[in-house]
Amino acid sequence: MHLPDGIVPVEMALAGYGLSAGLAALALSRIRTLPDPQAEVPRAAMLTTVFFAASLVAVPVPPASVHLMLAGLMGVMLGWFAVPAILVGLFLQAALFGHGGVTTLGLNGLILGVPALVAMGLWRLAGGRWPDLAALGAGAGAVVVALALFFGIVLAGLPTELDGAAERAALAVFVLAHLPLAMAEGVIVLVTLRVLRRVEPRLLPGV
């Protein structure tokens, strides 16, 4: 779910950079208030790699292909660190694999960064009382939020000359194809947290 170059007008791409920079600034300011921000850096570095490599796991589902996003996992595991980690991962995906555009990096940062923060909020809200349910909801919910943002941005940036109805129909199929992914990502977050709870509880995210 990466916007490539040339899909949205230049003004939207620039606005995406502005909003994404604002989101990153907010995240960094919140990270600075943590008691020991450096303690999270190793985990953020390793999860950035996982996020970067996850885009290679693609399942062809017409009209496009479905690949792992892991925005929910990033949000739950890293909290505010998820935003800079996702931006770094997206830049590497665009530069090395051609997944997503360089001009649309800001918009792609929003499409995956905002859902990560939603997942973080959900986990912190309900993770203490219902950890399994919160993990499932965070993973699946992040995909749903990312789909909604992607859908809205694509339609907002659609050139007026093109057939809007055809694009909406293609987007609807695209969204339907991603619903199993939402469930899969929910299960990924759930399994990851359960394994960590059993093997290495120190790596579990705080609630």
Partner 1 sequence: MTRRSSVFAALLLAAGVVAIPEAARAHAALIEAETVQAIRLHAQYDTGEPMVEAQVIIYAADSPTRVWGLGLTDAAGVYTFVPDDTEGRWTIQVRQAGHGATAHVELAQDAVPVLTASAGAAGQGWPQRALMVALVAWGALGTALFVLRNRKRDNASA
Q: Which of 31, 199, 180 is nearest to 120 (CA)?
A: 31
Report the alpha-carbon distance of residue 54 to residue 68 in Å, rounded.
6
Near partner 1 by CB under 8 A, which window of 17-25, 62-70, 125-133, 189-197?
A: 62-70
Report the alpha-carbon distance of residue 53 to residue 6 in Å, rounded.
24
Q: Are 127 and 134 a contacting pair, CB within 8 Å?
A: yes
Site mask for partner 1 (CB under 8 A), range 122-151, x = bound: ----------------------------xx
The answer to the question of residue 81 lying near partner 1 (CB under 8 A) is no
**Phi and psi of 59, rounded to 5°?**
-115, 120
The answer to the question of residue 171 lying near partner 1 (CB under 8 A) is yes
The answer to the question of residue 65 lying near partner 1 (CB under 8 A) is yes
Report the alpha-carbon distance of residue 161 to residue 163 in Å, rounded.
7
CB of 111 to partner 1, least distance (A): 10
- Nearest residue (CB) to partner 1, 25 versus 57: 57
In 3-state terms, what secondary structure has residue 142? helix
Near partner 1 by CB under 8 A, which window of 25-33, 118-126, 167-175, 187-195?
A: 167-175
**DSSP of 48-87, one letter per residue?**
HHHHHHHTT-EEEETTEEEE---HHHHHHHHGGGHHHHHH
Q: Are 31 and 81 a contacting pair, CB within 8 Å?
A: yes
The answer to the question of residue 74 lying near partner 1 (CB under 8 A) is no
Site mask for partner 1 (CB under 8 A), range 98-117, x = bound: xx-x----------------
Near partner 1 by CB under 8 A, which window of 45-53, 119-127, 138-146, 184-192?
A: 45-53
Near partner 1 by CB under 8 A, which window of 23-31, 33-41, 68-76, 179-187?
A: 33-41
Residue 127 Cα distances to 2, 56, 94, 114, 133, angstroms: 29, 30, 33, 19, 8
List interacting residues with partner 1 (CB under 8 A).
1, 3-7, 38-39, 41-43, 45-46, 48-49, 52-53, 56, 58, 60, 62-65, 92, 96-99, 101, 150-151, 153-154, 159, 161-163, 166-167, 170-171, 173-174
